[in-house]
Structure 1
């Protein structure tokens, strides 16, 4: 089984080599790394070219189009394979990451969309441990996948069916490829979140600082435009997959695809009997935004 690893780079010279070396240390032997540089102006390309002189990788140089379109381009032009893994430029993979995913994927029905994610360690710039990102202790269904993304692209591996469905979307209407993969898997296939730590996810010290409940509420409302992208994503999903969705999934999705503000629809979402989000602050904020017609 061939696993294609897709990496989009942009001015990533600081940590890139460390990530490349961690990919090269994978215990699973049948992998190929495809890299698209998104118009870097630092030493990223030099690092890639030097690395390619030692190891068989495919490098594509392109103009700056953003990570979303860059990943879609990689998905479109990479040679056929069995599975597809996504990679960020500043993380570190543990040696068993790909083999763990293949062990699960090869046991599943490969005729439906498959999505595998492994747990990971959140670290600071110096790879100092901060916390672990583990599987949630509640069910992530299609309804919840509309309003929040539980899957992180760099820890995901998908099969060809997922890849083909993913490419049906337009990058301009999809802000995060991992969110889109999650919705596809929850609607039509199977997803699995393994509790084995398989990567180190590097975050800045500032982004790791805990914030108070009141600041979470304030931040949420200040960033409501980002949350309103939920509707844009739902519209795109409905446009492409409406005929294939179950009646239950159509009904849930329609709450987010009707006209921006209808009182009855807003009340249905805001008063929905099941939780939309796991933590209390986000749940309150989400329901208030729904009531106001922002989502």
Structure 2
């Protein structure tokens, strides 16, 4: 029944039809979701109500869809918090509530849904940062959400897509992202990230779409493997980035400050002449110290 220009409210009689699959997406339905559709003992496994003009709470408060696996509610006018009723759906695999008017924090109980493969929350007004419990969601493959960039994301080795754009992110790009060995899409654009792009990311051989545009990144762009295929627009809005594919050549002033400080401190000790001189002086000191002790003992006797 999707894409049929249906209007009006969702009939409450749908709740008594023992439906396992209901797709009413891409219509012009309005009003709220009837409680009879999501109440106790509903056999619904797949519910798609995306791209309508539904409003009110995301789900009725007494929702208890224990068999639900796929829930699509994107592109509506839902308000309030992410519904706690989702915690009653332990088999949930896909949760898509993008482009609504949801607010509040991402609930901690969401991270206990270990069967989740896709979580799509962007385009709302959610607050706060992602919790360290994120590592529990080991089956997660698609993650599209606003706010936060914890190092623990690097432990989600099954991720195929990670979209953290337009999320007011600060700090640096975690090196732990190198562990996302299956990721194909990585979007960190339109944030306030600083520092360099970790060279370790060139190990992401499946990466086909990448963007860090409009941040405050600096230093040389790693231009190897997959990264040699990305266009200039992927790096727009970062005036301190340099090297291919940008026309801006790298110089010593283009290096991130922490990188320059590290090179300054290591420059002398890494020089071969310094190393051999240090070894020679150390050996001579040890040699004469040993014989000095023997002479002192002989005189003492």
- Indicate the TM-score class for this superposition, using the shorter chain for normalisation: under 0.3
* TM-score, structure 2 normalization: 0.26
* TM-score, structure 1 normalization: 0.27
If each structure's helix is expressed as a fraction of its own residues, which one has the higher value?
1
